[in-house]
Amino acid sequence: MSATVELTKENFDQTVTDNEFVLIDFWAEWCGPCKQFAPVYEKAAEDNPDLVFGKVDTEAQPELAAAFGIQSIPTLMIVRDQVAVFAQPGALPQAALTDVIGQARQLDMDQVRRQIAEQQQSGAQDA
């Protein structure tokens, strides 16, 4: 059984809303680096059973890829409390993925939300 969840436009919003911490791998079947990253991502999912590891097949779900402006694959995104806190294209080695997950776990989400609010406020003042 896979430790990852296939995300589609039908279940994406519900998955992100219902879970505090979601990792998302944007990938495609024809993508060599995606295939190399898949076992690393699967192992991280097994090592972190308290987190949701989702996969978006960009060929089958082009609307999701477009909605997030995915330009290259694989792209890893981390969503905490419905806020995208990390997005990076490229296959990560196991140690780097473990490090990124650890950093995302340690984020103070109240502080992140304050920073976003401040950026939005200063952006509105600039407009």
The residues assigned a catalytic role are 31, 34
Distance CA 7, CA 53 (A): 9
Q: What is the CA radius of gyration of the chain?
A: 15
Half-sphere exposure of 75 (CA within 13 A, CB side): 19
Residue spans of beta strands (DSSP E) within the chain: 4-6, 21-27, 52-57, 75-80, 83-89
